[in-house]
Structure 1
Amino acid sequence: MLRHRWAQIIVSLLVTAAAYHLYAVLAVPLIEPQPDLHGSSQRSVDFPADQRLQQRLQALSAFFPGRSQLIKNAKMLEIDQTTLLFQDYWNLGEGRVLVRPCLLVFDSRTSASPKWPSNLPEILILEALDGAIFQFDRPLDLRTARIGRFIAGQLLGNVVVRGENPTQDHPDFRLTTRDITVTEHRVWTNHPLELSWGKHRARGAGMEIVFRGRTPFSRGGFEQEPLNIDRFLLRHVDRLHIDLETVRSSDKPQAKGAMDSPSPPSRDEALDISCQGPLLFVPAQKTLTLEDRVELSRTQNSQSVLQLRCQQLVVTFQEAGPSNSTSAPPAETPASPDPSSVKKPIPGSSRWSIHLVRAIGRPVRIVFPTWNGELQGEDLRYDAASGAMSLGGSNGVQGKRGKDQFSALAVQCQLTSVGDIEMLAAVGPGKAQFTPTNSSQEWILTWGRSLTFTTGSNERVAALQGGVQIEAGDLGTLKAQEIWCWADAGLRATDFASLRLRRFVAQSAVELTSSQFAAQSDRLEAWIKWDNALPTQTSRASHGIRPQAVEQSAGKDDSSALMTNTGQIALRANLLRMEFAAYPGQAAELTALSADGNVVADERPQQADLHPLQLRGDHLEVTHPTRPSTIFSLTGNPAYVAGRGLALTGYQIFLDRGRNLLSVAGVGRLDIEKSAEQMIPVSAEDRVAIQWNQGMDFAGRTISFHGGVQLTSGPRRLQADALGIELEEPVILSSLSSFKGHQVRLARAIGNVYVENLELDPSGNLVARDMLRVSEISVDFLSGRVSAPGPGRFGTVRQASSLTGIFSADGVTRPVTQGQPDQGGEDNSQGNPSPKTSPNQDTGSPQANPPNQRLVMLDISFHQRLEGNIQQRQVGCYGRVKARYGGVTTWSAQCLPDDPALLGPDGMVLNCQEFTAFQIFGPGEQRPHLELVALGNVTVEAQFHTARARRLSLDESKTLLVLEGDGDVPAELYRQEFLGGPIQKTTARRIYFWYSTKTVKVDDAKSLEISRSPTVPLGG
């Protein structure tokens, strides 16, 4: 648009040349013969018949109001679309002829030529009332209707060229001057001239047009090239006024029906040019030059928006592409008697456009009055092809806007259609200073290589390169090699004082320092959201965010502001993204943060006793990090968060402190330095680690772990498909102090549950290993109740104690050979001893006991349920209970076979319906002793003993085994001293057996039998 507008300006400057081109178009067909295709140099002139003459004169009289009598008596010559009217002529000899008056009418509507300029009136009229003198190469002879070749001419007195618009489609056109001299190669006048073309105006003096080669005056008609000008000179330019709104409207094609639609309101925009020296136009070089105190001013609504002052202004043009636009043919008028001869427009007319504008001076000064700014240098160049304007000089470039200012070695910029700066590029080193209206602090920008500043409709974009530093008041200091900034202009688009930073991007060696952060990264992206409405007084202070009163009533203390009151965060990452909220007159608040690539964050706490926060991962996102409603997301391979005695590892960690939610997607691990007040079901002195494969969810009161869950705490381990923990009181994640004094109410493990506990002596030596396999288990820590549905399996491996040799013939415990198959035995376990173990395989515990240490194992399976109480130290198994007992060689043993013959001479298998175990502290005991009770069809099978009873009880502290029958069925005990020896059968209501002394006592004995049969059928 700008290049085309300059082309229109030049057309206006050359309008006088167009007028004389018009003269050539009108005069040449009359006074110069057209080329004869058959070689003749003569052409005929059409003399209308009398009746037709009167009709034509009457039609032409409408173009000459007040001169009807002159037209009525005029003589008329018609050649194509040109009509010459005169009253008389005189042959002055030597081929000269005087015509008086000289009236020429050119009607483009009747021309067969397609080359009439569409922006000129359809009818042009030239008036020289004092007449005109034409000179030909032979005397004029109108009787033969033949004329010679034109040599020279002169329009005498006042000369007026004006336009007539019967269809009102073209602006008014009027050119006035006097005494124009015309030769074959030159047209000139020394007198003043004035031009009005619609809203365009021009005034000057001393015009000269020089033609190159054969000119239109020496050619045959308008069908040839209209002008071949060598130079155009106007020795003095008083004023050249170009109406830009008219130029823009003429550039736009008019759509069908546009005449009927209301036109948009017009703007008063114009361009005024003046100079003390000449205006020179050289078409061959495509240059226009103005010299000596050149002043150019652009106005809008009578207000100046752009001013240029220099000593010399040079404009270079270039050929533009052909115009393919067409216009509708004009309507038929009385002056157009033959509609078939109406010209039809065709595409292909070429136009010129601005290529380069150069202004030279000391100084060259560009002023932008609308925003009180200016640029100053010595050499200004404007490249219309690229739309770039450059300004430089030996003293560099200085710019200012009110109190704002900057300096640089050179400046390139581009202007908008209303004269504002659209783009500005400053070559460094340079410096810029300005004070935003929303801050009392001055912003300082320095750069080493370049600064580029562009404007949109209401946006400002700045790009700084090379050792950039931005000191932005309360926002802190930013350093980088490259920085891009986006800002809003505020209430007024051209008011730099109301500039509001909206976004900035920094790259390469980025360092950001503020009261909340000390960040380093390869790239930083930040957004700033401005809000004119001030926040509530209780929700915000000038240097941070304070919790709302409603949050304090919910138990959220002031220490919940994670990065405001606890300390500064030192953050490193490959890419940082930040979002700030800014309010007029207030410090900016960090509302969102994200980091990508090798994220490392370390807290610098203000409290010495507070464990600092540490973060490691690949991607970090934090929303409202200075508020209790923080939303936190960290991903990595894996991601790691530690602090306040906790360490959390996972591929994706999510925290919503406002909704009190914490979750980890996929595989993860939680390490707790010390459990507080039974927060989890382990000792408070143990370090706890929980691992899972499919995620963790925390919702204030409940914690859920999913997929391959494993909990370890010192010598304790739990494995399950899922683990759920319910707390007595909810944990408020927005309050750091809420992590103290919370007790677990309920814990529930589901799916392939495996529990292992290792018991150590004070020296750290292993003395017992307990195992439990169930499908599900629940623990109520308030009541101590434990429950699990069947089937399940419980086992314990211990050092040989007073239990050893209960049914052994010689009192020596013999281990079961590990790896022997279970021949016909019943395996009621869940088939999931551990993801890493199987029966009789290593579980990470000691693989073998020392040679002097004897190990025994008790393996219990049940089918119905397990119930117990951890506070009362008791556990009961129900439904088809089977207990296996025997010696083992390793702590990692998982189960025992069901066949007593495979358990060794000291092994046994016990079957019953209920089996209960108690741990009881006796007087003076440091370790609890074991009491066992079996009920319901109790049978005991061993290599040397077999027993049957309704009830069996064992007291470890007394080394006493009691077998009891009922009123109908007595208790039975079968003993054999050695394999193949005699069998002793004892039957009684109650049998007491002290296995440490091999002493037997019976109550209400029924019988005592001795048999030599080596086997005794239990069913007999």
Structure 2
Amino acid sequence: MLTRLTHAGVAFATTVVIYQIYVLLAVPLLEPNRPANATELSEIDPTGGKPRVPFHKHREMLATYFPPDHWTLQEPPKSFDNGQAMILVDDYHPSEDGQVRVQKCVLLFFPHERVLGEDPPRDAVILEAPHGAVLQLDEGFHAGFKGVGRMQWARLEGDIVVRSDMQEPGSQDDLILKTRDLKMNQDLIHTDAEVEMRLGPHWGRGRVLEIRLVAIERGFSSAAGPAIGGIDTLEIVHDVSAELAIGETALLRDKTQEAPPVQVSSNGRFKFDFSTNVASFVDQVRLEQKYSNGARNRLNCEELNLYMATQDETVALGVANYSSTTLAGRARTLTKLLPGTVEAHGTDLKPVELTAETHSASARCGLLRLELGPQRVTFSSQDEIELKYEGSEIHAPLVQYQMPPKDSGHRIGTLLAAGNGWFKTAPSSPHRVELRWTDGINLRHIQGKPVLTVRGRPRLSAVGGRLWADELEMVLRERVADGTEDDLLPADIAPERMTASGHVDIDSSQLSGKINKMKIDVQYLPIDLKLGSASEGGTSNPLLVGGANGSERAYRIDGDTLDVGVIVRDAQPQISSLDVRGDLEFREESNHSTAAQPMVVRGKELQIRNAETPEAKISLRGEPATINAAGMSIEAVELQVNRGTSAANIDAPGQLQIPIQRDLQGQLLAQPESLQVTWRGGMNLENDRVTFHGNVIARTSTGQLNTERLVVVLSSPIQFDGTSQASQTQLTQLECWEGVSAQFVQRDAAGITSIHKMKLESIRANQVTGEIAGIGPGLIESVHLTTGQMPGAPATPFADVTPSANFAAVATGSTPQRLRYLRVEFLRGVEGNLNKRIVSVVGDVRTVYGPVDSWEQTLPTQLQGSPAPDTVYIECQRLQVAQSPAARLQRDPRVGSVELMAEGDVIIEGLAGGQGTFTARAHRAKYDQQKTKFFLEGNGVRPAMLIRQKFIGAPYDEQSFKSLEYNQTTDEWKATGVGRGQFSGFPSK
């Protein structure tokens, strides 16, 4: 609309200039000192002023422009021709008072040079004044124009018509202008009549025409003619209106291809300033298009300016060398004017308002500036402008957009938005976006690529969240014109790189965090290149390690820099790489489940490669770096993780914490706690199996385990792919290799109740099934509080030798407590089931059990001299400790009765109360604490033996028997297969 208006303004201004110049006989009268052509003066009789030769030399040319009955073709007219213009008059009548009356006159102006022998140019501009003209000269008129005074005023009477076929065949650019009764002096050309002009399909009209002239100083005093050097301004004062056909030059093309004309009107003047080549409409200027469907496009402003210019702002005028300040020069200049700039001005109370209903677009600003040459449009205002398009809108003090140069290959030009502003998409858009800034936006081309920069703490808000930064920069990619990238890129313009710098703050349902700089690189892959998918172990999540549905997961990243690589195939983006540096924290959790354990990563550098595939690799470095997932925590200087296989590898010292519900002895804990594992060598995680090596230490609140190689089997594989786990990962099995030692301490409210130690070559303990197995040589050592012997009670050589005894309950009872020491040495190994309360040690077993005076005191496993009171020594090939089946039915927590059985070359030594020492030899020895029964038996080949010595140096009493059963409660003995020997006090049963 504005483009066509500018074209029409140029044509109108050109026409008016030509009209006023030649209607007033500008060439011969206003420039009389120009040498006249001989052909011009030869037709004038110096004595009578009448043609001497009635030959019509211009008939052939004039027949091109006039009908056969036109007066110029009836009789040869008087003609004045300077090559650029021709004036034809039928006659003139000078008077003594200095007036010259012309009966009829015609002016022909030729914008382009006429060539003899060729057809007359069709673009000649023709002015007809059929009612003649009157000129007033200050010194009168002399025949032959050899003495013409200065013009004081002139008047063209009656109807005046200016017309031209212009350059194009047909009527689409034909010109016609009509007015009447034109008056002129040295300063002003004026008419109160209506002025009407039509240029092809365009027309305009108004009332009261004023053309102001510029006087010039003559080079010498004898110069004749009026002192007019050119035109200053042209104005149409009242009732200004126009209709312009838009066609294909519309600023906003209609989607239906309908192009109705534009109606232009104003309450004020139309003005053309010839010194600056500016045409202006003022006072409530209105432009309007009306469509057949009722839609309207409107522009309202207080002032509309049209700026015109030539290609090089200068005009070569040929041999005549007329100055562009003269009327003739100005006419030639105006014919070469091209559309320049359009400006629409508003005020604070009445801003410029542009409404395009056909495009759901509107603008509101103080100034609208359209530069047609560079194809640049600018909207500005002291406060802010408002632009809307299909529901999207932008606000800023200044917005400027320039179309890309023709044939540049660019699909987008340059954009500038200065000052505090904002942009948002339509509320109905499925991808709503809002962008705010305080400094401005700049879209420019750098190395052939569009680069969009947003400064002034921009805030980007989308459907899922917001992003803040000190500056945003986005490198864009444009589809090539040959169509080879139509399937590659999702749109004509697509992002290739985005950089957010300075205090970047991300807050969304899927991603949040604070970083100093973020960069996202986008790579577009051909549609036939297959990517990883969720079903194949890949991810469609927006970042790092999502499950099957990215919206189900939430991520938070804090660090210094964040680099993200994105690949796009078939318009579907996927994260392919991620780099985070600085003091970073990465957190991933479910958006819906509050019970699911989040994955938390901390360190100095996080690197992810092939994130869109099942083989995604995660590398983490730190001082140290940590990963927390499913209740488990891994800490090391460097960590390598394979997401798809849930494998992790550490070739450096580190630490792991994992939740446990049982301690390392297999006992249920009062409340869950963590097992802490440290190592000096490395760690390897494969699904549910974690292997540590190099000075491995496993700690709980009750003790620690040392080994060279520790294998931990978990209740479920550790997931690094972001999928939710229904419960915490638990410890199910421990394996220790290449030497193991352990120490466990049990406490109650009063303090320590027991200290247990163990050494083995290897051991395996399953906390689910309770099974344990170990390889010796090894030892088990225990110091614990237990109930002391009551006076008069019988000896209980194996009492309280049980790991399940409730020492806390015993300690709080009324029975006095004392420390007891147990040490078991063996060569082959250990086996059993902790759930069934059965533990066995095998191979040259040596055991000592007895009281001690401190937690640090120990007892040797081999008897040295006489045994101490309540101390028992046992040697055998297999020693089993099991909870009594009857004891499991007891509700008293202080009851921890056991069955203890020694097998294979059993030797038991100790004190027999006040009867000295005893030594028992048997194949099998058994003690049931619940039944208070003691049992010895042979193996069928060698009988059991019981040997006593009342005091040192006394003779030994020994007795053999097949089996011996003793009930402590009833003090009853029962023996079978009694052999030789005499045992003092032995019952004769």
- TM-score norm. by structure 1 comes to 0.49
- TM-score norm. by structure 2 comes to 0.50
